[in-house]
Amino acid sequence: MAVDGGRVAARGFQYQYLRTLEALLERIDDESIAALRVEGGSGADGINTVDFDLTGDGGERMVAVQVKSRQPGSTMSASEAFGILLDLVVAVNAKEYQLITNAQAGPGMKDLVTALEAIDDFDELRRSLLATLAGAPSRASQVSQMLPSIIERFCRARVIVDDRDDIEIRYHLASRLRQFRVSAREGLGEQSAGLLLGFLISDVLRRAADEGAACLTRQEFRERLLVPGHVLAQSLAVRDWGVVVGRVPPIPDVPRPEIITRLNDVFAPSIDAGVRTAALVGLSGIGKSSQAAAYVANRADLYDLICWVDAESTSTLTASLRQVLAHIRGITRASIMEATPDELRDAVHTELSRYNGRWLIVFDNVTVARDLGAWLPAVGRGDVLITALDAATRFGKAATIPVEQMSRDEAVTLLRLRLDMSDAEYSSHIGLLERIVNAMGRWPLAIELATGYMHGCGIPIHQAHHYLDRLKQRALADDMAIPVGYPRTLVAAIDMCLDHVATLTKEEPHTLQKLAPLALMTAAAYTASRQIPIHLAAGALFAHDDELRNPDFRTAGPMFVGPESADLLEAVRELRRFSLVDFDEDLPHEFDSLVADGSRTIAVNTIVQDVIRRLRETHSGMFDLLNRLATLTNIWMTSSLHAGHVQLSYLMSTHAEALVENIAAQQLASPQILLLFGNFAILQRDRGNTLAAEQLWRLEMSILDQIEPVKDDDFDSELVTMQIKISLSLLFIDEETRTDVTIDEVIPWLQDSLMSAQRLALEKPDGAMELLTPLRNALHNPRGQSLIEHNEEIATLNSAFADLISRLPSTEHSDALDAFRQITMELQTGRDYENAERLCRYLIGKANFLGGPQELEARRLLIEVLIRLQRWADAKSEHDKIRRRIGATPMLPYTVNMMIHNVGCSCAAAYLLGETLDSDHAAKLLDDLLTWPHAKPISGTSDEYTQKFLLLAAINDLANGRLLEGDEKLSRVPRPEANEPHPTNEDLPSWRLLWEYTRLALLQRAWHTKQTYNTLD
């Protein structure tokens, strides 16, 4: 990597100004020192030789200093050091002279340092210098010619070889600042050192640039060091530090020095330190994130870059890392939004590994510890701080620091601040405050909730003992409902808030409005913690069972609670009064045209969710509420996907995932719950999560085996079982390498399904046809044909299914699947592209019936057809429609990957082989394709498939003038075999031909640019 001269120079000045500050701080109590002058001061002699000096009351130089910074590992010889000192002592008269350098001692340097420190006799020093500099004749000659006055000054000179790096100097300065402020009895010393040091460094820089302001008196320096604590606190509260990327939580106003000290020990500055990791672990609301923020405030001066990453979920983590990458590279976030999570992770790790300064990255609110490992940077000069709930898991070699309850003094201080008590009130109620914090277990969240309750209920401090007594009763009464590891006082505080919500609405004339806040809160405890649609949560109370059983209602789309039933914003307001919820980002799809607050969502703290689930799980009506919530979640998820609202469907899938997990943990079952399990499994399969889909279907099937069979208009146990067995069998046929399903399971499943289908054909022939058509198509695919050829039982079953299907009437759904097969055949053979376009547009016109995924698949095929017809503008328009619909979500990976693969091949061929106009259009569309967030093969696909993607990326680099990058990618793609089957469609080149033409294009460019490429060696 080329040397960045500007950055090297900047770091040299940084070292100089750090040592300048250190020199004055070391002499802060030295009465003989009156001022410091940066860069020699205004009008001073030796201005080009002196980096800084310390002067006395009369302006006389007490110490003149030259600072020389070197790159790590560089050396300085005795000859070079002597020359620098000679210039300094000749230029100015001072009581002391110093050469300070971070270079390692070179030839003769140690002898020079020793001589200057030990010898004060002029003649003896001259002889020693001559001996040390014998190998440098010109320097020895200068020693011989030195006047007595100069050699006398030399006796007062010293060389200081400082082996510390900038981090260690900053650490020493910050520690010294804190010691000085503590000795002066100024507050906020621990918290403010980083900010104060940053200000002092910037002040020195300003004085270096302004000759008129170069002088800083010792008294002025003392005043800066002792800036009032409240001023620093205000600065910390509102300051945008500039080096922090990400949203840092508020810095706590109650310090917890024990935790910060342990972090300081783990991250103590060290020259040889690589990446070090610490994990703050403990329950929600215990103060992990706030203590991480306190460390950032305390040690901000030690880092060149601080990154705060919200690690609650993969989506928040990737969003934060996109911001980090944009900051490091100095580009807009929009330009990196399309990177896949793996690409994003690798890019951030690469940038951190080569980052010139020291960095800190905070992974905040980690919920699944095992998923974090791959995201942790392993190389570079930096520290990693993790906050997580999981105290049982080690994060690699991380130092684990438990965050436990506050000390007595810390808890009392927090309570006093939240109650806004005067000194007089505090003194007269100190005993009561101690009783309250002890009853609350000295947990920060419990204290926050308790004070919120007191504020909300208007309880004055002198009546708090009533609250304390009731809280104790609650804690004892709820003892059996407390989750393992949670303090009872925390659960009691939350339970009391819920009780008060109920009390506030007790006189509400409208019964459902009275129940709305608690029902909304209870339902929200079972979903994901972010972006919970308020109408989804409230629907668990307001939806009527007869509506939920109505097929037309279930397919109509999300259900909304009308204002005549309840005012949900008022319900949310009641919950917000006790910090139980807060408003979150609106839904990614606009519903406000249907109802004013249709897009509003809330967020709930995960500890509140955990506690509420335990508190409410035994209440009467919980099964019915969860049953309705499962039905509504299923409706929201499936209807949004059917309507083509892909991003909303993805959000709803996160709520379905949490709900499925929580319901499964309670071992609840009903037809509505099983439908949610099955549809969520389909969504997982369509997202490429085949193992997750398989596990859900197996769970659903095991539950069906344990309950009484059901057969009515809403649910048919035999039909659902048949669907599951066919779905699991299709996983094996289509995705053998990414599933645990075996052929020994598939055969009896298909045998059972055949018998069920034969019975279903007599009652509902249309339903039988729709269930069997995907199986028929899968068995006609190459993988299915291979199974038929090599397995006699599969072949027999295929014949039986084919015979049954031949006797069933076609349906609109089966006709659509046949149309898809016909389009694929036209594309493969190149016979009739106009017919293929007609069929694509026919399917798109059936979007309301087929649903969003099928519509987008039809549009994907339409793009291929339009390219064959050389209608590039129309193809680009269809591509953009798909891209807008799917966005950055990981939904529909098959459609996206097949589009990139097939359309990419056509674009690559047109670019390399087509006319100039086609080539330009093709290059642009290929670039658009490969900047998708999902421009990467699905996990588990073959090496050949991965190599094709890499070949397309190489061609894209070539088209965009990135010749070296394209050559590097092509060098990793093995030359396709000569016997590769040629496409049945003569309009398409083989992948071997694409490889050859790419190599030829690189050869032509190499000839013109005189560059050597890997593939041409």
- Give the residue, 614 or 45, on which the prediction is more confident: 614
Evaluate whether 602 touches 586 at the Cβ level (below 8 Å).
Answer: no
Predicted confidence at residue 819, as pLDDT, reads 87
* Residue 458 confidence class, pLDDT cut points 50, 70, 90: confident
Predicted confidence at residue 755, as pLDDT, reads 92
Evaluate whether 368 touches 343 at the Cβ level (below 8 Å).
Answer: no
Query: How many degrees, rounded to 5, is the angle at CA 558 between CA 556 and CA 561?
Result: 115
Distance (Å, whole) CA 628 – CA 161: 74
Is pLDDT above 50 for 238?
no
Distance (Å, whole) CA 325 – CA 323: 6
Is pLDDT above 90 for 745?
yes
* Residue 550 confidence class, pLDDT cut points 50, 70, 90: low
- Tokens read off for 775: 């199986």
- Give the residue, 616 or 56, on which the prediction is more confident: 56
Predicted confidence at residue 239, as pLDDT, reads 39
- Give the residue, 322 or 476, on which the prediction is more confident: 322
Predicted confidence at residue 947, as pLDDT, reads 82
Average pLDDT for residues 616-627, to the nearest whole number? 84
Q: Among 134-148, 178-192, 366-380, 542-556, which stretch is predicted with the lowest mean pLDDT?
A: 178-192
Is pLDDT above 80 for 1002?
no
* Residue 480 confidence class, pLDDT cut points 50, 70, 90: very low
Is pLDDT above 70 for 173?
yes
**pLDDT one-digit tens code per residue, 759-783:** 888 888 888 888 888 888 888 888 8
* Residue 236 confidence class, pLDDT cut points 50, 70, 90: very low
Pairing relation of β-strands 601-604 and 75-76? Answer: unpaired
Predicted confidence at residue 916, as pLDDT, reads 60
Mean pLDDT of the chain: 79
Q: What percent of the chain has pLDDT over 90?
A: 13
- Give the residue, 209 or 886, on which the prediction is more confident: 886
Average pLDDT for residues 983-1003, to the nearest whole number? 71
Predicted confidence at residue 481, as pLDDT, reads 28
Cα dist. 684→316, 650, 711 in Å?
Answer: 20, 10, 27
Predicted confidence at residue 300, as pLDDT, reads 74
Average pLDDT for residues 583-612, to the nearest whole number? 80
Evaluate whether 137 touches 111 at the Cβ level (below 8 Å).
Answer: no
324-328, 414-418, 547-551, 898-902 — most confident range: 414-418
DSSP 627: H
Predicted confidence at residue 159, as pLDDT, reads 92
Nearest to 361 by CA among 390, 948, 369, 351: 351
Predicted confidence at residue 372, as pLDDT, reads 82
User: Is the CA virtual torsion 797, 801, 804, 807 positive or negative?
Assistant: negative
| 830 Rama sector, left if φ>0, alpha if ψ -120 to 50, beta otherwise | left
Predicted confidence at residue 911, as pLDDT, reads 85
Is pLDDT above 70 for 853?
yes
* Residue 557 confidence class, pLDDT cut points 50, 70, 90: confident
DSSP bridge pairs for 35: 55, 217
Residue 154, helix vs strand vs coil: helix
Q: Among 170-174, 865-869, 1005-1009, which stretch is predicted with the lowest mean pLDDT?
A: 1005-1009
Is pLDDT above 50 for 675?
yes
* Residue 242 confidence class, pLDDT cut points 50, 70, 90: very low
DSSP bridge pairs for 603: 582
Distance (Å, whole) CA 311 – CA 455: 32
Is pLDDT above 70 for 263?
yes
* Residue 534 confidence class, pLDDT cut points 50, 70, 90: very high
Average pLDDT for residues 46-56, to the nearest whole number? 80
Nearest to 246 by CA among 334, 362, 166: 362
**pLDDT one-digit tens code per residue, 277-322:** 999 987 667 788 889 988 988 777 677 788 899 887 887 888 888 8
* Residue 487 confidence class, pLDDT cut points 50, 70, 90: very low
Is pLDDT above 50 for 841?
yes
- Give the residue, 241 or 64, on which the prediction is more confident: 64
Residue whose entry in the numeric block shows the structure tokens 């069920």 = 756
Average pLDDT for residues 592-609, to the nearest whole number? 79
Reduced 3-state DSSP string for 243-288 = CEECCCCCCCCCCCHHHHHHHHHHCCCCCCCCCEEEEEECCCCCCH
Pairing relation of β-strands 215-217 and 35-38? Answer: antiparallel
- Tokens read off for 733: 């046929």
Average pLDDT for residues 555-574, to the nearest whole number? 79
Is pLDDT above 50 for 849?
yes
DSSP 354: T
Q: What percent of the chain has pLDDT over 70?
A: 80
Distance (Å, whole) CA 170 – CA 174: 6
* Residue 484 confidence class, pLDDT cut points 50, 70, 90: very low
Evaluate whether 364 touches 292 at the Cβ level (below 8 Å).
Answer: yes
Distance (Å, whole) CA 196 – CA 174: 9
- Give the residue, 905 or 1011, on which the prediction is more confident: 905
- Give the residue, 394 or 344, on which the prediction is more confident: 344
- Tokens read off for 140: 């020895």
Cα dist. 7→38, 202, 355, 690, 850 in Å?
Answer: 21, 17, 11, 49, 59
Is pLDDT above 60 for 1010?
no
Predicted confidence at residue 562, as pLDDT, reads 78
Reduced 3-state DSSP string for 774-838 = HHHHHHHCHHHHHHHHHCHHHHHHHHHHHHHHHCCCCCHHHHHHHHHHHHHHHHHHCCCHHHHHH
Residue whose entry in the numeric block shows the structure tokens 């965050």 = 403
Is pLDDT above 60 for 473?
no
**Alpha-carbon torsion, ordered 515, 516, 517, 519, to 10 deg:** 80
For the question of whether the overall pTM of this predicted structure is more than 0.95, the answer is no
Nearest to 644 by CA among 844, 874, 901: 844
Predicted confidence at residue 296, as pLDDT, reads 87
**pLDDT one-digit tens code per residue, 877-932:** 999 888 888 877 777 777 788 888 888 888 888 888 766 667 888 889 888 888 87
**pLDDT one-digit tens code per residue, 319-332:** 888 888 888 876 65
Distance (Å, whole) CA 925 – CA 928: 5
Helix H or strand E segment including 306: strand 305-310
Cα dist. 594→535, 563, 701 in Å?
Answer: 12, 11, 38
- Tokens read off for 171: 């650490």
Average pLDDT for residues 786-790, to the nearest whole number? 90
Predicted confidence at residue 362, as pLDDT, reads 94
**pLDDT one-digit tens code per residue, 940-965:** 555 677 888 888 888 888 888 888 88
For 873, other C-beta atoms within 10 Å of its C-beta total 8
